[in-house]
Amino acid sequence: AQSVAQPEDQVKVAEGNPLTVKCTYSVSGNPYLFWYVQYPNRGLQFLLKYITGDNLVKGSYGFEAEFNKSQTSFHLKKPSALVSDSALYFCAVRVDHGSGNTGKLIFGQGTTLQVKP
Amino acid sequence: DTAVSQTPKYLVTQMGNDKSIKCEQNLGHDTMYWYKQDSKKFLKIMFSYNNKELIINETVPNRFSPKSPDKAHLNLHINSLELGDSAVYFCASSPRRPGITEAFFGQGTRLTVV
């Protein structure tokens, strides 16, 4: 079965320090991986995705993620955290349904990032 | 110029009632979804429609009935509401084109059943 795991419920970092939010996946076939962020009382915002190609993916707001096939991981990173990065982060894998480029997202359980001033 | 909009944003209702949540997207996408986020923030897909056709139904109780009058709208009707239906419901859409594309989410509808 396809699944995504985020092993940390919460990550705390000081502003200006690098941050990492971990994600591992289990899929059959090629993994299509996504990171979304959810601010309080808001919807999910897309950050970045890995489909194929370069293992280091750059996304919105200075975030990047590293795809590691051997470790089946897709960790989210940022070189210098901001207080405004504090939010709930979700890793997801897309599972296609039939043909025609339709599918669903299977989400990890989410990781709360807290950036302290 | 909200891309994916849901109404209402908050919904408080009594057990046994029937309620609807509406969703509209102005992105020209062919595929729309409903996701449920429970009290532990866990997100799970409920339904997916592609150009008004039901594609995915993730073993959701038949008290939940999605309706897509056109490809820009996907409404969710819930009959005989139960306490366990309390959650945040997110609508999303994605384009149907070659390549893997991300989904765009609405702001969510927080449903509270009392």
Is residue B98 very low, low, confident or very high in pLDDT (cuts 50, 70, 90)? low
- Which of A94, A103, A110 is the closest to B41 by Cβ? A110
- Strand intervals (E) in B1-114: 4-7, 10-13, 19-25, 31-37, 43-50, 53-57, 64-70, 73-78, 87-94, 104-105, 109-113
Q: Which of B93, B74, B100 is nearest to B3 (CA)?
A: B93
Measured distance CA(A2)–CA(A24) in Å, rounded:
11
Answer whether A43 sits within 8 Å of B106, measured CB to CB.
yes
Q: What is the pLDDT of residues A55-90, one digit of tens each?
A: 999 999 999 999 999 999 999 999 999 999 999 999
Average pLDDT taken over every residue of chain B: 92
Average pLDDT of the residues in B63-87? 95
> How confident is the model over B58-63, as a mean pLDDT?
89
Q: What is the pLDDT of residue B32?
A: 94
Tokens 């996946």: give the residue: A25
Name the band, by pLDDT with cuts 50, 70 and 90, for residue A103. Answer: confident
What confidence tens digit (pLDDT) does each residue in B4-60 have? Answer: 999 999 999 999 999 999 999 999 998 999 999 999 999 999 999 888 888 888 888
Confidence of residue A101 (pLDDT cuts 50, 70, 90): low
What are the chain A neighbours of B107 within 8 Å (beta carbons)? 41-43
Chain A: closest CA distance from residue B112 (Å): 14
B37: three-class secondary structure by DSSP: strand
What rounded mean pLDDT belongs to chain A?
93
Mean pLDDT of B84-109: 89
Would you place residue A99 in the very low, low, confident or very high pLDDT band (cuts 50, 70, 90)? low
Residue in B42, B48, B102 nearest the CB of A34: B102
